[in-house]
C-alpha cells in the first residue's frame, strides 16, 4: 500500500498553513516530516489521517490494504490521547470494540499487542499510574492492535524526557524493522529524524511547502555505530542550516489567536 | 574567591520557609462540636435561653426518640423521601438528555443556553402555586417542583462537562473509526461524568430544600409539613427534632454521593 499526497494545501480562515504539498510514502517506508513550528506538519498529518479536510489537493492510497488491517492509517499522538477511565487493556481494546471480531481473536490481538510492547504486566493499570513513556507505549499498543499499514506519528516523543525518548526510539526501530509498518513521523527533533527515517522531508515556514527531501543513505541498524556518526553529523548540519533561519523567525513570532 | 581573602566565621542561613500547609486536626472538630452542645445544654439549664424558643439538645433528643417510637418519623420520612426520589429521577433524566443535546448539537446549544440562563435563577418554589393549579395539590405538583429544581443544575453540569472533554480524545476515537454513538458512550459521557456527579451534589441539595418548602405549602405528611405544624403548636422540641432529621438526611445523601463518586471515578 502506498500513500499519495497530491497538491495538498490548507488554510485556517485567512491563514494559509500548507501549500501544494506532494508526497509519497511507500510500503514499509519511514518518512520524517520536519520544519519550524507552525509549518503545518501536524496539519498535514491530520489531513492524511482523514481528521481534517484539506482546502485543496487530494490524499489517496494505491495498492491493496494488508490483510487483517482494521485501520490502515493509525495515529500515535503527542499527548498519548488515552482514556483516563480505562485501564491499559481497556484503552487498547477500544480500537477493536466496534469491529465484528470473534472474542478469541479480539483477546489474541490485545494480548499480542500488549506483549509486543512489554505491557502485559501493566494491563490492569490506569494511565495516571504510568510514566509518560509507559503511556506512550499504550498508545503504540493501541495502534498495533488494528494492524496498521501506515503509522501517523505526531511528535510521539516530544512529551517525554530525554532518556525515555532514547528508549522508545529504539523500540520504534525494532518494531518497524520487525513488522515493516510504514510511518509518517512528524518531529521537530533532527536527531530523531536522522535516527529513524529513510527519508526526511523538510517543510518551509508558513505556508508550509516542501523545501527539500533528504534521503538518509545509511540503514537504520547501522546508524548507532561509530562509523556512521560523521555522515549523520554532516546530514544534521545540512538539515539545520536549511531550517535554522526560519526557526529563528518562528521563535520570535507573536501569535494572535 | 581569592584564597587569601578573610571570610570570617560561617553564618547559619536563617530558615524562612514553612507554614501555609494545613494539617488535619480531627480532635479539634469533635471537641468544638461537643463544647457547643454542652454550652447550649447549660444555657438552657440555667435559663439563660428560654426552652420554649430554643429547646435543649437533650430535649430535642428525647423528642426524636418519641418520634421514632411512635412511628411518626417513618411516615413523614417515607413521604418526603419518595417525593425526593421521584422528582430527582425525573429532573435528572430530563437534565441529562437536554444537557447531552446541548453538549453535542450546536443548534440545541444555541436554543438552550438563553432559555436555561433565563429560567435557572427563578426560585422554583415560586412556581409551586402555578404547578398546583395545573397538577392539583397532590403529589404530582411536588414532583414537578423538585424535578424543575433538579433539571437545571443537571443540564448545566452535563453540557459544561461535555465541553471539558478534551477534543483530542474525540479525534483519537475518530481516528480509530469509532461510530458516533460509540464516541458518545465511551468518550464523551465518561469524560463528562466527574462534572455530572458534581452536579448531582447540587441537585440533591436542591431537591431536599424544595421538598421541605413544598411540604410546608401544602401537604398532609412529610418532614416539612411536620416541622411547620409543630412550629404552629409551639412544640419547638418536636420542630427541632424534624430539623435534626433533615440535617441527618442531608449528610446521608452527601455520603452516598461521595461513595458513588469514589466508585465511579476510581480511575482518578
Share of chain B above pLDDT 70, in %: 99
pLDDT band, residue A151 (cuts 50/70/90):
very high
3-state SS assignment for residue B69: helix
Q: Is the pLDDT of residue A38 over 80?
A: no
Whole-Å CA distances, A147 to A67, A105, A135, A140? 9, 13, 19, 11
Across the range B36-63, mean pLDDT stands at 93
Question: Contacts of residue A86 in chain B, CB cutoff 8 Å?
Answer: 267
pLDDT band, residue A82 (cuts 50/70/90):
very high
Residue B16 CB coordination number (10 Å): 6
Q: How far apart are CA A60 and CA A1, in angstroms?
A: 10
Three cell numbers written together for A63: 495498492
- Contact state of B176 with A85 under an 8 Å Cβ cutoff: no
Q: How far apart are CA A22 and CA B39, in angstroms?
A: 84
Q: How far apart are CA A210 and CA A9, in angstroms?
A: 11
Q: How far apart are CA A25 and CA A199, in angstroms?
A: 9
Across the range B25-45, mean pLDDT stands at 94
Across the interface, of B174, B182, B187, the residue whose CB is closest to A83 is: B187
Residue B243 CB coordination number (10 Å): 16
> According to the model, what pLDDT value does residue A184 have?
93
pLDDT band, residue A217 (cuts 50/70/90):
confident
* pLDDT digits 0-9 by tens, B133-153: 999 989 999 999 999 999 999
Q: How far apart are CA B59 and CA B45, in angstroms?
A: 11
Residue to mutate among B161, B176, B183, B268, with most A CBs inside 10 A, is: B176
Q: Is the pLDDT of residue A131 over 70?
A: yes
> According to the model, what pLDDT value does residue A110 have?
94
* pLDDT digits 0-9 by tens, A84-100: 999 999 999 999 999 99
- Contact state of A97 with B173 under an 8 Å Cβ cutoff: no
pLDDT band, residue B160 (cuts 50/70/90):
very high
Q: Are B145 and B128 in contact (CB under 8 A)?
A: yes
Across the range B194-200, mean pLDDT stands at 96
pLDDT band, residue B3 (cuts 50/70/90):
low
Query: Whole-prediction pTM value?
Result: 0.87
Domain extents in chain B:
57-264
Contacts with B, A 21-80, CB within 8 Å: 46, 49-51, 70-71, 73-75, 77, 79
B163-177: b or e for each residue (b if 16 or more CB lie within 10 Å)?
A: eebeeebbbbbbbbb
Rounded to the nearest 5°, which phi and psi values hold at B71? 80, 0
* pLDDT digits 0-9 by tens, B200-247: 999 999 999 999 999 999 889 999 999 999 999 999 999 999 999 999
Across the range B85-93, mean pLDDT stands at 97
Residue to mutate among B178, B262, B267, with most A CBs inside 10 A, is: B267
Calculate how close chain A gets to B67, using CA atoms only, in Å: 46
Mean pLDDT check: name the lowest of A35-49, B100-114, B140-154. A35-49
Whole-Å CA distances, B230 to A231, B75, B77, B84, B224? 94, 15, 15, 22, 10
Whether CATH 1.10.3720.10 fits B57-264: yes
Calculate how close chain A gets to B265, using CA atoms only, in Å: 8
Question: Contacts of residue A49 in chain B, CB cutoff 8 Å?
Answer: 175
Q: How far apart are CA A90 and CA A83, in angstroms?
A: 9
pLDDT band, residue B4 (cuts 50/70/90):
low
Q: How far apart are CA A189 and CA B64, in angstroms?
A: 72
First CA to last CA across chain B, in angstroms?
52
Calculate how close chain A gets to B19, using CA atoms only, in Å: 29
The B-side interface with A (CB below 8 A) comprises: 168-169, 171-179, 182, 186-187, 190-191, 193, 265, 267-268
Identify the closest residue of chain A to B169 by CA–CA distance: A81
Alpha helical stretches, state H, chain A: 41-48, 88-94, 103-116, 132-144, 162-179, 190-196, 229-251
Amino acid at each position: 500500500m502506498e500513500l499519495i499526497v497530491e497538491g495538498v494545501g490548507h488554510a485556517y480562515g485567512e491563514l494559509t498553513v500548507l501549500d501544494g504539498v506532494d508526497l509519497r510514502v511507500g510500503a514499509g517506508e519511514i518518512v520524517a516530516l520536519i520544519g519550524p513550528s507552525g509549518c503545518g506538519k501536524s496539519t498535514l498529518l491530520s489531513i492524511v489521517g482523514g481528521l481534517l479536510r484539506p482546502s485543496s489537493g487530494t490524499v489517496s492510497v494505491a495498492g491493496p490494504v494488508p490483510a487483517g488491517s482494521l485501520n490502515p492509517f493509525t495515529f500515535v499522538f503527542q499527548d498519548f490521547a488515552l482514556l483516563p477511565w480505562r485501564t491499559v487493556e481497556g484503552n487498547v481494546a477500544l480500537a477493536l470494540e466496534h469491529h465484528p471480531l470473534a472474542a478469541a481473536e479480539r483477546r489474541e490481538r490485545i494480548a499480542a499487542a500488549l506483549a509486543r510492547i512489554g505491557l502485559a504486566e501493566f494491563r490492569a493499570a490506569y494511565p495516571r499510574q504510568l510514566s509518560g513513556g509507559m503511556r506512550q507505549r499504550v498508545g503504540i499498543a493501541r495502534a498495533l492492535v488494528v494492524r496498521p499499514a501506515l503509522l501517523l506519528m505526531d511528535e510521539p516523543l516530544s512529551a517525554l524526557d530525554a532518556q525515555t525518548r532514547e528508549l522508545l526510539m529504539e523500540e520504534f526501530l525494532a518494531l518497524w524493522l520487525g513488522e515493516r509498518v510504514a510511518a509518517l513521523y512528524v518531529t521537530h527533533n533532527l536527531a530523531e529524524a536522522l535516527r529513524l527515517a529513510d527519508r526526511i522531508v523538510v517543510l518551509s515556514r508558513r505556508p508550509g511547502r516542501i523545501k527539500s527531501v533528504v534521503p538518509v543513505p545509511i540503514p537504520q541498524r547501522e546508524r548507532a555505530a561509530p562509523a556512521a556518526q560523521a555522515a549523520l553529523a554532516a546530514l544534521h548540519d545540512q538539515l539545520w542550516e536549511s531550517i535554522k533561519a526560519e526557526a529563528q523567525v518562528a521563535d520570535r513570532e507573536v501569535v494572535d489567536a | 574567591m581569592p584564597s587569601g581573602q578573610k571570610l570570617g566565621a560561617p553564618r547559619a542561613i536563617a530558615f524562612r520557609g514553612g507554614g501555609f500547609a494545613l494539617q488535619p486536626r480531627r480532635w479539634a472538630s469533635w471537641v468544638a462540636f461537643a463544647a457547643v452542645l454542652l454550652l447550649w445544654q447549660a444555657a438552657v439549664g440555667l435559663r439563660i435561653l428560654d426552652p420554649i424558643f430554643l429547646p435543649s439538645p437533650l430535649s430535642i433528643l428525647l423528642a426524636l426518640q418519641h418520634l421514632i417510637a411512635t412511628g411518626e418519623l417513618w411516615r413523614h420520612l417515607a413521604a418526603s423521601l419518595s417525593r425526593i426520589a421521584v422528582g430527582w429521577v425525573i429532573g435528572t433524566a430530563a437534565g441529562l438528555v437536554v444537557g447531552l443535546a446541548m453538549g453535542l448539537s450546536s443548534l440545541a446549544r444555541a436554543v438552550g443556553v438563553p432559555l436555561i440562563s433565563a429560567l435557572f435563577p427563578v426560585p422554583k418554589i415560586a412556581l409551586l402555586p402555578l404547578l398546583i393549579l395545573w397538577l392539583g395539590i397532590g403529589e404530582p405538583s411536588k414532583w414537578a417542583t423538585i424535578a424543575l429544581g433538579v433539571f437545571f443544575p443537571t443540564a448545566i453540569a452535563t453540557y459544561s462537562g461535555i465541553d471539558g472533554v478534551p477534543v483530542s480524545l474525540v479525534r483519537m476515537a475518530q481516528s480509530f473509526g469509532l461510530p458516533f454513538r460509540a464516541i458518545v458512550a465511551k468518550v464523551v459521557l465518561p469524560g463528562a461524568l466527574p462534572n455530572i456527579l458534581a452536579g448531582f451534589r447540587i441537585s440533591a441539595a436542591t431537591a431536599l430544600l424544595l421538598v421541605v418548602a413544598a411540604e410546608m405549602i401544602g401537604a398532609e405528611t412529610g418532614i416539612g409539613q411536620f416541622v411547620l405544624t409543630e412550629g404552629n403548636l409551639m412544640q419547638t422540641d418536636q420542630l427541632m427534632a424534624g430539623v435534626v432529621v433533615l440535617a441527618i438526611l442531608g449528610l446521608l445523601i452527601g455520603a452516598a454521593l461521595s461513595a458513588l463518586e469514589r466508585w465511579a471515578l476510581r480511575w482518578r
